[in-house]
Chain A
Amino acid sequence: MKSPRSISVSRAPDHGLSVGSAGLLRQRVVTRHSVLLGNGGYRWAWALAPWVLAAAAVLLFVGHENAFVLLITGTAVIYAMSAIGLTWLMGRAGLVSIGNGAIMAVGAYTTAILAPKAGWGAFPIPLVISGLFGAVVGLLIGIPALRLRGIYLALGTLALQYIVVFAGSQYESHTGDVSGIPVAALSIAGHEFTYGRGFVFILFGFLGLSILLVRNVLRHAPGRMWHSIRESELAASAVGVNVTRWKLSAFVGSSALIAVSGSLFAYYTEIVSSEGFSLDFAISFIVMIIIGGTGSIAGAIVGAVVVTILPHLLTTLTNELPSSGIGNWLHTNVFYLNNGLYGILVLLFLLYQPDGIVPGLRRLAAGILRRFAPLPQVGVEVADNPVGAPPADTPLVARPAVNGHRPAHPSVLSVENLTVTYRTGARAVDGVSLRVDENSIVALLGRNGAGKTSTLRAISGFMTSEQVRLKGRITIDGREVLGLPPVKASELAVLVAERDKIFPNLTVAEHLRIARPRGGESVENEEFFAGLRSRSHQSAGLLSGGERQLLALAMAWQLKPRLLLVDEFSLGLAPVMIRRVAEVIRQLREEHGMTFLIVEQNAAAALDLADWVYVLEGGKVVAEGLPSEIGKHDLLLPMSATTGP
Chain B
Amino acid sequence: MSKELASIIIGMLDLGSLYALVGIGFVILYRSTRVINFAQGAFMLLGGDVFYTLLVDWHLAWYLALPISMVVLGIIGALTYLVFFRRLVGADLFVLVIATLGLNIVIVTIATIIWGPDIRSLPEVLSLKPLFSIGNLSVAPLDVFSIGLAAIVIVLLERLLQRTRLGIEMRAVADGPLLAGQIRISVHAISAIAWGIAALCAGAAGAMYSLRVALDPAGIPALGLLAFPALFLGGVDSIRGALVGGFVLALVQNATTFYVGGLWSDVVPYAVLLVVLLVRPRGIFGSREIVRL
With an 8 A cutoff between CB atoms, is A510 at the interface?
A: yes
For the complex formed, measure the closest distance between the CB of B32 and the CB atoms of chain A, giving whole angstroms.
12
Given A287-B102, A336-B112, A350-B98, check contact A514 B176 (CB 8 Å): no
Quick check: which of A147-155, A205-213, A319-327, A379-387 contacts chain B, the rest being far away?
A147-155
Specify which of A159, A280, A506 is in contact with B105 (CB 8 Å cutoff): A280
Q: Are B184 and A497 in contact, with the CB atoms below 8 A?
A: no
With an 8 A cutoff between CB atoms, is B153 at the interface?
A: no
Report the Cα distance A559→B174, complex, angstroms. 21
**Interface set, chain A 138-183, CB cutoff 8 A to B:** 144, 147-152, 154-156, 158-160, 162-163, 166, 170
For the complex formed, measure the closest distance between the CB of B194 and the CB atoms of chain A, giving whole angstroms.
15
Per-residue CB contact flags for chain A residues 400-429 toward chain B (1 = under 8 Å, else 0) read 000000000000000000000000000000
Report the Cα distance A504→B176, complex, angstroms. 9
Specify which of A463, A486, A505, A515 is in contact with B175 (CB 8 Å cutoff): A505
For A339, the chain B residues whose CB sits under 8 A away are 109, 112
**Interface set, chain A 494-517, CB cutoff 8 A to B:** 494-495, 497, 500-506, 510, 513-515, 517
* Of listed A351, A464, A514, residue having the most chain B CB within 10 A: A514
* Number of chain B interface residues as a range: 35 or more
With an 8 A cutoff between CB atoms, is B84 at the interface?
A: yes
Report the Cα distance A280→B177, complex, angstroms. 33
With an 8 A cutoff between CB atoms, is A303 at the interface?
A: no
Cβ-closest chain B residue relative to A161: B270
With an 8 A cutoff between CB atoms, is B5 at the interface?
A: no
Specify which of A151, A346, A460 is in contact with B293 (CB 8 Å cutoff): A151
Nearest 8 CB-CB pairs, A to B? A343-B105, A340-B109, A486-B181, A465-B90, A503-B175, A346-B102, A159-B270, A166-B267
Known: A144-B274, A344-B102. 10 other contacts (CB 8 A): A147-B278, A336-B117, A342-B102, A343-B105, A346-B98, A350-B95, A461-B181, A463-B177, A487-B184, A497-B179
Report the Cα distance A9→B15, complex, angstroms. 74
With an 8 A cutoff between CB atoms, is A555 at the interface?
A: yes
Main secondary structure of the interface of B (DSSP, over half): helix
With an 8 A cutoff between CB atoms, is A286 at the interface?
A: yes
For the complex formed, measure the closest distance between the CB of B129 and the CB atoms of chain A, giving whole angstroms.
35
With an 8 A cutoff between CB atoms, is B125 at the interface?
A: no
**Interface set, chain B 105-158, CB cutoff 8 A to A:** 105-106, 108-110, 112-113, 117
Per-residue CB contact flags for chain B residues 264-293 toward chain A (1 = under 8 Å, else 0) read 001100110110011001000000000101
Report the Cα distance A549→B103, complex, angstroms. 41
**Interface set, chain B 210-236, CB cutoff 8 A to A:** 225, 228-229, 232
Given A163-B270, A559-B183, check contact A486 B169 (CB 8 Å): no
With an 8 A cutoff between CB atoms, is A587 at the interface?
A: no
Given A159-B270, A336-B109, check contact A494 B182 (CB 8 Å): yes
Report the Cα distance A344→B90, complex, angstroms. 21
For B228, the chain A residues whose CB sits under 8 A away are 155, 158
Q: Are A506 and B168 in contact, with the CB atoms below 8 A?
A: yes
Q: Are A152 and B182 in contact, with the CB atoms below 8 A?
A: no
With an 8 A cutoff between CB atoms, is A290 at the interface?
A: yes
Report the Cα distance A504→B89, complex, angstroms. 20
Specify which of A144, A158, A343, A465 is in contact with B91 (CB 8 Å cutoff): A465
Per-residue CB contact flags for chain A residues 308-325 toward chain B (1 = under 8 Å, else 0) read 000000000000000000
For A559, the chain B residues whose CB sits under 8 A away are 183-184
Cβ-closest chain A residue relative to B91: A465
For the complex formed, measure the closest distance between the CB of B120 and the CB atoms of chain A, giving whole angstroms.
16
Given A148-B277, A283-B105, A343-B109, check contact A465 B99 (CB 8 Å): no
For B175, the chain A residues whose CB sits under 8 A away are 503-506
For the complex formed, measure the closest distance between the CB of A484 and the CB atoms of chain B, giving whole angstroms.
11
With an 8 A cutoff between CB atoms, is A359 at the interface?
A: no
For B229, the chain A residues whose CB sits under 8 A away are 159
